[in-house]
Amino acid sequence: MKTPARLLVLLLAPFSGDAQAARFPVAFAGTRLAVYAPHFTDALSCAANAAALAGLDTFSFGVCTERRFLLADLSVSSAAAVVPSRFGTFGVGASFSGTIAYRETSLDISYGRHFGQVLSGGVRFGYGGTSAGSYGRAARVLAEAGILVRLSPRATAGVRISNPGGGWRKGGGGRLAGIYTCGVGYELSERSFLAAEILKQEDEPVTVNAGFHYGFARLLAARIGFISAASQFYLGVGVDLNRLRLDVVATLHPYLGMTPGFGLLYVAKRARP
């Protein structure tokens, strides 16, 4: 791996933030906000809050990947599947990032269900591993819980807590930082919504993710947003082909440049027209 890329990996690794549970492409930050807009929630967005699984009643599978700052060594890829059942909805997720020099992998299983008309809850358990070449390996077991509340037919708020006790870690590196997230969204229409979330990781500054999604037509949608960490803007376009959706997204860092990303979502059948 080239020296500049190696330095970036070492610098960014301690600031994985929400990625401790399952590393998720930053370029898809707008996708995560869909958990606060139930009519727009999908398999990939449930990474933000397992409670959102409760609103999905159809099998679906999604993958997304990004090349951070256009460097292959900083690529991040994630996959997620949703499996409904009569007892609630289950989810499975996996992620991979880095190269042989520094690599992170994770696998998790989650569950969400409704508790009445306005409240839904969910839990997620995950196992992840980190490998830093000759420097050794570390493993971790994580847990998180979240709730979503329908404030009105168009407004939804949610809270998520990850690693409240520090999790379990093997291989050194100290306790895992707890992560606390809260957010709210409002569906402006059947094609658009506004949402924002606040994420606080222990010993790190507060991060704000805010975005807007708008569907121009049945087949085309766009999103734009802002992440306060490093003042990054993101934008994306999605093409809906009935059971398939293709996303092309990108973020812009003021100093390190652009991060492009691509995503693909499959839904066994559409739950809404």
In terms of Cα–Cα distance, which of 47, 50, 36 is closest to 149?
36
Cα–Cα distance measured from residue 196 to residue 143, given in angstroms and rounded to the nearest whole number: 23
Cα–Cα distance measured from residue 51 to residue 158, given in angstroms and rounded to the nearest whole number: 9
In terms of Cα–Cα distance, which of 190, 188, 162, 186 is closest to 176?
162
Residue 163 three-state SS = coil
Q: Average pLDDT, stretch 145-160? A: 97
* Region of residue 173 (phi > 0: left; psi between -120 and 50: alpha; otherwise: beta): left
Q: What is the tally of helices (H) and strands (E) in the chain?
A: 2, 15
Q: What are phi and psi of 253, to 5 degrees?
A: -90, 135
Taking 80 as the threshold, does the pLDDT of residue 97 lie above it? yes
Cα–Cα distance measured from residue 122 to residue 52, given in angstroms and rounded to the nearest whole number: 7
**Which tens digit of pLDDT belongs to each residue from 115-151?**
999 999 999 999 988 887 777 788 888 899 999 999 9
Q: pTM of the predicted model, to two decimals?
A: 0.86
Q: Average pLDDT, stretch 32-47? A: 95
Q: What band does 34 get if pLDDT is binned at 50, 70 and 90?
A: very high
Residue 133: count of CB within 10 angstroms of its CB:
13
By residue count, the chain amounts to 273
